[in-house]
Chains A and B, each alone.
Chain A
Amino acid sequence: MTRTRNLYLIPYAAWMLLFVATPIVLIVYNSFFDVEGHFTWGNFEKFLTPVYLRMTFNSFWYAFLITAFSLLVAYPTAYWLTRAKHKQLWLLLIIVPSWINLLLKTYAFIGLFGTYGFVNAVFEAVGIGTRQILFTDFSFVFVSVYIFIPFMILPIYNALEEINPSLLYAARDLGASPWMAFRRVVFPLTLEGVKAGCQAVFIPALSLFMITRLIAGNRVVTLGTAIEQHFLVTQDWGMGSAIAVLLIIVMAVIMLMTGTRGARNPVR
């Protein structure tokens, strides 16, 4: 193939420069200023205080929990979906709920999980009794998993679909039990999908906000919440930018370590 000039690069690079590089530069620039507009390293120093370090630790811990539970629920779902009739339709029906406004679904969860909500009514009926569900770690992780699960199911489903069925028949013919076939053949072949799914969940989970207030009642404070607060409430854009810069670096590192693909979540 002859070397053609890369004409496509011009519009794309121009676009990236304008709408990716410039905003990021602005954020980095902002992170070096305090509330009064003086140059400072203080924002980054503040990040090293116990409050922010614990917040960072919390964010990672919850993001880890959310990713782990998403995987636990999503894998069997994807696996059995690939074997269902009308599987394409079912898969689409998994995506449809994510088109309904997140805030509305969150409000619905407040209703479902409330003291006099549907779930507690069921608990009451089966004799467990009323529990506090709303504003607990459980409800936070549950709702987060709910939000992210389609992004875990999709890549795993695709990985499963790409497996050549003859591989399975071969494994069976060679006397492997279904479990053996799954463990030795199917699962290793879907690892790429699992990785992509974990990335698609873990990264946005790190910067979750909104549901930390609505569902966790601010009992969980993540880095995303802190950024939102600094930008929208306290107007300490410098500190908000500093956290953002660190978060972007962390995410870039994660991406580098786990490969290059990933997907931002539309629903934060």
Chain B
Amino acid sequence: MKQLVRLFAAVFAAALGLMYWTSHLNSSQGYSGANTITIFNWGDYIDPDLIAEFEEETGLKVIYQTFDSNEAMMTKIEQGGTAYDIAIPSEYAISKLKEEGLLLPIDHSKVPNLDNIDERFLDLSFDPGNEYSIPYFWGTVGIIYNPTLLDGQSFESWDDLWNPELRNRILLVDGAREVIGFGLNSLGYSLNDTNEEHLQEAKRKLGTLTPNVKAIVGDEIKMLLAGEEAAVGVVWSGDAAEVMWENENLDYVIPQEGSNVWFDNMVIPTSARNLEGAHQFINFMLDPEIAARNAEYVGYSTPNAKALELLPEDISQDERFYPPPELTDKLEVYENLGKKMLSHYNELFLEFKMHRK
């Protein structure tokens, strides 16, 4: 009995001691009180030096939290037990959050740097007038491939993925919209198609791709491609940029039939506590010099026209990541297809995954 009492006393004492230490650390880091701003972003999606600079400039303390999918982020925001001052979701998530009334309008008078944004990226269908969202980064979906592992095969079209020589050599990103989307694109349909016949046709065509598919994976796709585990991958452009930075053998292409263009945007959830700080942060990130440095660090395409001018030419002139107008015309934004249709896409994707070679 004595031993038991001693054990539990020790455990509680240790826990209390550690809690005291934690709160001491927290306050020494300034992570308490009203002078903080909580940012909810994708992992490694901002240059950490910029956060430090922002803290210095404004005297605010940034709490940086990450999510790994739009869905996980939405779940947390919808739940309501959280207080995020800034979140950075993708466009379809924004229209959903907007529908549910979970976003606060952004006061444009407090964001003068908004003028720096290329007007191509403003006033888009998911948020007319940018009432609730400010562009952060944008990008495409395309094919990344490793010429050193392939004998001279090049990629121009989605159909090139069906080449029998690529047996067991393709990695796909684990996303229903992406995979069903390129299936539809390869048939010449829109990737927002809701026609059941077209969808079934795309599913059948994707079924014939399975012998070539080595795996359908998540974020580890970058690690696998950089390590030359597979020769070809279907990825987001930002991931491609990161992989190509690590392994120079690889190349990226946006297929000619068209593809998806996506936008990640800064929003202020209704649960925000530091509205002033949130606006300050948005404006800070839109500063040309800051945005350019961030774009160089993250590797995604910046919507900031003034920042683009500041970027070195080998980045800003790179047509793979800043595609020319004739190609951008073929790129489509994912529309919010509604919950029913989305769940149908997911069912089709599940069937594709279950399709055995």
Contacts and interface: CB of A to CB of B under 8 A. Distances in A.
Q: Per the CB under 8 Å rule, do A and B touch in the complex?
A: yes
Interface of A: 35-36, 51, 54-55, 107, 110, 114-116, 132, 134-135, 213-214, 216-219, 221, 226, 229, 232-236, 239
B227 A114 contact: yes
Contacts, number: 79
B220 A135 contact: no
Interface in B163-220: 168, 171, 174, 176, 214-218, 220
A93 to B, nearest CB: 23
Contacts of A114: 224, 227, 229
A234 B217 contact: no
6 contacts: A35-B342, A35-B343, A135-B214, A217-B217, A218-B215, A232-B75
B107 to A, nearest CB: 31
* Size range of the chain B interface in the assembly: 20 to 34
A236 B349 CA distance: 14
A134 B229 contact: yes
B2 to A, nearest CB: 22
B339 A116 contact: no
Contacts of A116: 227-229
A110 B223 contact: yes
B229 A233 contact: no
B119 interface: no
A115 B354 CA distance: 24
A232 B71 contact: yes
B218 A213 contact: yes
Nearest to A214: B220
A58 B174 CA distance: 20
A115 B168 CA distance: 13
B217 A233 contact: no
Contacts of B342: 35, 234
Contact of A226 (B72, B74, B350): B350
A221 B220 contact: no
A226 B174 CA distance: 13
B176 A234 contact: yes
